[in-house]
């Protein structure tokens, strides 16, 4: 059983739309949850993290966490072509951060 | 930019050789984690160093080893290289060990 699962995509949305990226995890002891963005050939860059159930907003990005359902999501409002990248969900338990394979997002002009 | 620097950025080795990758952590960060990212996959945790001691290890064989120095910089050593070791090796620093990870640009290793 994979520890962190993401749909590989690609998820295609038009410019200006809301992109919704989803992630499920298997370890109920997971303590914190992260979203990274990775452009092709580049390293991951941190978008945001969330610890508690509910929503957390940062600019155009909103992270949502539901620990009972073991589900994390990232919403990107007003999507831009520059948002086209692979989005990695990561789950932390103690010192270990476990990543999913990522979802490719394509935003068309 | 995160302030985490890695070297070299690209290198080519042959099967059976040994490689050392280096990482300088972001100022103020005392923890370094190493990840391996194969093409089309998410990063896989290799190990973490905190205050010069190994602080967690993923499912990698002993030929993957590391060091952390008093200035918190770090090395990843891989012995007896195999073809499947071809990947992007990512170093990330954090403070504290359970804090957010900030990645360097990575070292891309090709094993022929």
Instruction: Tell me which of A43, A44, A86 to substitute to probe the interface with B (most B C-beta atoms closer than 10 Å).
Output: A43
pLDDT along chain B (112 residues), means of 10: 90 98 91 95 95 93 96 96 98 84 95 98
3-class DSSP state for residue A77? coil
Minimal C-alpha gap between B82 and chain A (Å):
22
A76 close to A102: Cβ distance less than 8 angstroms = no
Per-residue pLDDT, A95: 80
Q: Which residues of A touch B104 (CB under 8 A)?
A: 43
Do the strands A71-76 and A61-66 form a parallel or antiparallel pair, or are they unpaired?
antiparallel
Per-residue pLDDT, A1: 55
Closest-CA residue of A relative to B108 is: A41
Mean pLDDT of all residues in chain A? Answer: 95
Per-residue pLDDT, A2: 62
pLDDT in tens, A56-95: 999 999 999 999 999 999 999 999 999 999 999 999 988 8
Q: Distance between CA atoms of B77 and B74, rounded to whole angstroms?
A: 10
Closest-CA residue of A relative to B98 is: A95
Q: Distance between CA atoms of B35 and B42, rounded to whole angstroms?
A: 9
Per-residue pLDDT, B99: 80
Q: Which residues of A touch B106 (CB under 8 A)?
A: 43
B95 touches chain A (CB under 8 A): no
pLDDT in tens, B20-43: 999 999 888 899 999 999 999 999
B11 close to B19: Cβ distance less than 8 angstroms = yes
């Amino acid at each position: 059983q994979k520890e962190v699962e993401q749909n590989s995509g690609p998820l295609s949305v038009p410019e200006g739309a809301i992109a919704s990226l989803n992630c499920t995890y298997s370890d109920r002891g997971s303590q914190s949850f992260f979203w990274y963005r990775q452009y092709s050939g580049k390293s991951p860059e941190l978008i945001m993290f969330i610890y508690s159930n509910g929503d957390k907003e940062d600019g155009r990005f909103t992270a949502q966490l539901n620990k009972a359902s073991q589900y994390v999501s990232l919403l990107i409002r007003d999507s831009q072509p520059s948002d086209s990248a692979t989005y990695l969900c990561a789950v932390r338990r103690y010192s270990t951060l476990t990543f999913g394979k990522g979802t490719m997002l394509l935003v068309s002009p | 930019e995160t302030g985490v620097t890695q070297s070299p950025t690209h290198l080519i080795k042959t099967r059976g050789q040994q490689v050392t990758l280096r990482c300088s952590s972001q100022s103020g960060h005392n923890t370094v984690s190493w990840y391996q990212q194969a093409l089309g996959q998410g990063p896989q945790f290799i190990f973490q160093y905190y205050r010069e001691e190994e602080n967690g290890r993923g499912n990698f064989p002993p030929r993957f080893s590391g060091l952390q120095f008093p200035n918190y910089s770090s090395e990843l050593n891989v012995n007896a290289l195999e073809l499947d070791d071809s990947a992007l090796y990512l170093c990330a620093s954090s403070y504290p060990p359970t804090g957010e990870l900030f990645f360097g640009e990575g070292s891309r290793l090709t094993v022929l």
